[in-house]
Structure 1
Amino acid sequence: MPADTSRQVGQRVAATRQSRRMTQADLARATSVSLAMIKAVERGARTPSDATLDVIAGALGVDPSRLVTGYACKERRVHAALPELSAVLAAYDSPLGQSVRTAAELRRDVKQAEAWRLAAQYGRIAEHVPTLLADTLRRLHSSHTPDAARLVFSTARTADAVAYKYRAHDLSARLVDLMRWAAAQADDPMLSTTAAYVRTETFFAAQAHEAGLRALEAALDAAPSPHGDEGNAARGALHMRAAVIAGRAGDDSAAALHLAEAEQFGDRVREDVYQGTAFGPDSVRIHAVSVAVGLGGDHVSRALEVAEDWKPPEDLPAERCSGFYIELARAQLWSGLADDAFASLKAARRIAPQHTREHPWAKHDTATLRRLKRADAESLTRFAEWIGAV
């Protein structure tokens, strides 16, 4: 456990529980932790173990780092899980044994894992997804059904969120390849479209932005005709992604073209999650900020304009909302708005602590803020220590 006192941890648990309108008995039932233990933790008489802290944080719907400053056990577990994921991938075409879960149990667990991904709960993913991926692969090889292939696809998508965020880029690329393979097994063009969206990570990691833009434009050419919400969301998401990578490539005309296309598709569908990728008008606004920051220079003011009278709604995926504030903080920092930038970084942490802590821009910009604002030492220094910028 980090250096917080038991009393400080207990006070945060109690405050978070009360904000959720839960009683101590409610929390005990939700966690299978005894009521006596919950009471002892909240009054500071007991220090929860890492396992107990995890289940309490999960029941409260927050990351453990919201309850314990500098909590790093999740990060250790994530890194420990990466070799296990790699081993599962090595035998993707010949997994040993039979799935220990029924088809219904697999669908339930894959859906739960997807919810963790959307909430940026990387520690929970790392703990459960390696065995889940192995089980979905076993199910696919024993049943050879499109439904089983979709379960493999979704689980690989969730596993990739951890691999990419924790900079295991070779493993991430292999997981993307597994997604593309599973999409072919399912014979589902929509899954292939989503795989093309996720594959863009490999181009971001290699800073091969022009090549990534070409790959996305090829995927747009191959995508199904945009019929109905699903088809519109699929093409809109690709245009949204293409706008961002065009911005990183410094191609402002291509960025503007793809962003305009994404906006048109966004106007046709409600904000929702399509194959694990959120798309709709709000997501397009968030990506408009990313495009402006990617282009830099005179474009940065556009990011500030978007955020001037709009904020992401709370029902969007946590990682996407956190990313909005991280990119906004960069635009604010470049514009000389240091206090606003720090406020945005704190908002990102509140929404998705693990995502913020692992984001290289958040670390870099926090370090820059600390150099610029040494007189405001205490709160900024605590944040910098939490994020690993000192």
Structure 2
Amino acid sequence: MPSAPHGGLGRRVAYYRSVARLTQQQLADAATIHIGTLQKIERGARGASDSIVESIAAALGIDPSLLLADRAQASSRIHAAIPALSAAIAAYDVPDDGPVRPVPQLRDAVTEAVTWRVGAQYVQIVRRMPDLLSELFRALQIAPTEQHAEIARLTASALRSADAVAYKFGAYDLSARLIDLMRWAAQQANDPILSAACAYVRTETFFAADAHSQGLRALVAAIDQAAPPADVTTTAALGALHMRAAVIAGRGGDVDAAELHLAEARRLGDHVPEAVYAGTAFGPHSVRIHEVSVAVSLGSEHVNRALEVAREWAPPGALPAERRSGFYIELARAQLWSGLPDDAFESLKVARKIAPQHTRDHRWVREDAATLRRLKRADAETLTSFAEWCHAT
């Protein structure tokens, strides 16, 4: 196993341990490692294997990428692990023999994976998801009738977590296959809420292909087929579809459709508390973030709306990390287009602090960092460091 660099790792472990208000003994116990091992790591006297880094990160409740002295290691691990996801789904109908845990344990494992996804903890996903998917495929084959629908729902949710990594890291063909399997599992669950979630996620394939008008048509069809907003769950499912439709309409330059769907998302969002519903964050705060996204998608004549939102509001810390970092990434683009490069760079740094992996591999971050580097050559050191971190050219 490769070891993380000594000094940087130790400083980060000590820092996040202090943030968590844990003693060395408490952290060592929680991570199930010897306190002497932890002490040596913190003072830079030794490195740590992948498994130890992940145990410490799990005990601290953070993504392992935050502990790596060279965060490029996290992206390298993710890219290296993506083929294992592909192999796991290739055998979805003929999975390898192996154990299958009881449904409550599978439910807990999938819930944990959803937490990693909304928290942009991609290292955790790629390390655990291939085995979990294989286990869920086995479970589907042997499940008694009364458990089949729930296991199908769990499988669809796990596939969505795997897709988050594939899509964010540019493996679009794999992402499309994962989404197709998610829809396959949802059909077996016969769950309209899950079907709406599948339509929401499927939009990624249209984003990747720049097929915005086709994506909008698919979402409108899903909206027409969705359950009416009779309770919190159905309201959130429908609202999320309108929220997504507003963004893809904005990307396609359809102002009227973008405003119509955003208004409907806002109306529905006002009727539910902010929360993660069927794997998608929805509520008044999520709609506000998408208001910024729509303004940026519509281009220069609309970016002032994004700046207005940011002047009076900021995403609360309770929102999922991926969604909060996305707000600052979108805001940075609006600020850059508005001639505010210093503000744009500050927004990118905030996004990086919230969700480093989501930020580092975001296409817009690389583009904006490269633009900032050209515009502000006098501030070379900090800007160059950031640009190199996110591979801006």
TM-score interval, normalised by the smaller of the two chains: over 0.9
Equivalent residue, structure 1, for 2:13: 13
**Aligned mates of 1:94, 1:43 — CA distance in 2:** 48
Where 2:302 maps in the other structure, the secondary structure is helix
**Aligned mates of 2:91, 2:115 — CA distance in 1:** 26
Tell whether the 8 Å contact from 1:63 to 1:354 is kept in structure 2 after alignment.
no
**Aligned mates of 2:193, 2:16 — CA distance in 1:** 40
Whether 2:338 is the aligned partner of 1:351: answer no
**Aligned mates of 2:80, 2:7 — CA distance in 1:** 31
For 2:299, the aligned partner's letter is G
Task: Please report how far the alpha carbon of residue 3 of structure 1 lies from its aligned counterpart in structure 2 after TM superposition.
Answer: 12
Task: Please report how far the alpha carbon of residue 376 of structure 1 lies from its aligned counterpart in structure 2 after TM superposition.
Answer: 1.0
Which one of the candidate residues 208, 217, 220 is aligned to 1:217? 220
**Aligned mates of 1:98, 1:276 — CA distance in 2:** 28
Whether 2:187 is the aligned partner of 1:189: answer no
**Aligned mates of 1:279, 1:253 — CA distance in 2:** 22
Tell whether the 8 Å contact from 1:244 to 1:287 is kept in structure 2 after alignment.
yes
Task: Please report how far the alpha carbon of residue 151 of structure 1 lies from its aligned counterpart in structure 2 after TM superposition.
Answer: 1.1
**Aligned mates of 1:81, 1:15 — CA distance in 2:** 28
Equivalent residue, structure 1, for 2:245: 242
Unpaired runs of 5+ in structure 2? none
Where 1:273 maps in the other structure, the secondary structure is strand
Tell whether the 8 Å contact from 1:98 to 1:139 is kept in structure 2 after alignment.
no
Percent sequence identity over aligned pairs: 60
Tell whether the 8 Å contact from 1:366 to 1:384 is kept in structure 2 after alignment.
yes
Tell whether the 8 Å contact from 1:2 to 1:68 is kept in structure 2 after alignment.
no
The superposition leaves residues 310-361 of structure 1 with CA deviations (integer Å, 9 ceiling, x where unpaired) of: 1111111111111111111111111111111111111111111111111010
Equivalent residue, structure 1, for 2:172: 169
Please show how residues 96-107 of structure 1 align to structure 2 within 5 Å.
96-107=96-107
Task: Please report how far the alpha carbon of residue 92 of structure 1 lies from its aligned counterpart in structure 2 after TM superposition.
Answer: 2.0
Whether 2:373 is the aligned partner of 1:370: answer yes
Tell whether the 8 Å contact from 1:262 to 1:284 is kept in structure 2 after alignment.
yes
Bigger drift between 22-31 and 155-164 goes to 22-31
Bigger drift between 309-318 and 9-18 goes to 9-18
Where 1:339 maps in the other structure, the secondary structure is helix
TM-score of the pair, normalised by structure 2: 0.95
Task: Please report how far the alpha carbon of residue 82 of structure 1 lies from its aligned counterpart in structure 2 after TM superposition.
Answer: 2.3
Tell whether the 8 Å contact from 2:200 to 2:219 is kept in structure 1 after alignment.
yes
**Aligned mates of 2:251, 2:38 — CA distance in 1:** 48
**Aligned mates of 1:368, 1:141 — CA distance in 2:** 52
**Aligned mates of 1:98, 1:60 — CA distance in 2:** 31
Whether 2:314 is the aligned partner of 1:311: answer yes
Whether 2:270 is the aligned partner of 1:272: answer no
Whether 2:200 is the aligned partner of 1:200: answer no
Equivalent residue, structure 2, for 1:136: 136
The superposition leaves residues 212-266 of structure 1 with CA deviations (integer Å, 9 ceiling, x where unpaired) of: 0010000000101111000100100000000000000000110000000000000
**Aligned mates of 1:99, 1:230 — CA distance in 2:** 33
**Aligned mates of 1:127, 1:3 — CA distance in 2:** 16
**Aligned mates of 1:382, 1:2 — CA distance in 2:** 25
**Aligned mates of 1:36, 1:350 — CA distance in 2:** 30
**Aligned mates of 1:79, 1:10 — CA distance in 2:** 25
Task: Please report how far the alpha carbon of residue 282 of structure 1 lies from its aligned counterpart in structure 2 after TM superposition.
Answer: 0.2
Equivalent residue, structure 2, for 1:56: 56
CA gap 1:169/1:5 in 2 versus in 1, 3 angstroms: closer
Equivalent residue, structure 2, for 1:116: 116
Task: Please report how far the alpha carbon of residue 23 of structure 1 lies from its aligned counterpart in structure 2 after TM superposition.
Answer: 1.1
**Aligned mates of 1:274, 1:310 — CA distance in 2:** 23
Task: Please report how far the alpha carbon of residue 141 of structure 1 lies from its aligned counterpart in structure 2 after TM superposition.
Answer: 1.4
Whether 2:266 is the aligned partner of 1:263: answer yes
TM-score of the pair, normalised by structure 1: 0.95
**Aligned mates of 2:53, 2:162 — CA distance in 1:** 23
Unpaired runs of 5+ in structure 1? none
CA gap 1:65/1:94 in 2 versus in 1, 3 angstroms: closer
Tell whether the 8 Å contact from 2:17 to 2:23 is kept in structure 1 after alignment.
yes
For 1:226, the aligned partner's letter is P
Task: Please report how far the alpha carbon of residue 2 of structure 1 lies from its aligned counterpart in structure 2 after TM superposition.
Answer: 11
Task: Please report how far the alpha carbon of residue 81 of structure 1 lies from its aligned counterpart in structure 2 after TM superposition.
Answer: 2.6
Tell whether the 8 Å contact from 1:2 to 1:71 is kept in structure 2 after alignment.
no
Task: Please report how far the alpha carbon of residue 364 of structure 1 lies from its aligned counterpart in structure 2 after TM superposition.
Answer: 0.9
Where 1:87 maps in the other structure, the secondary structure is helix
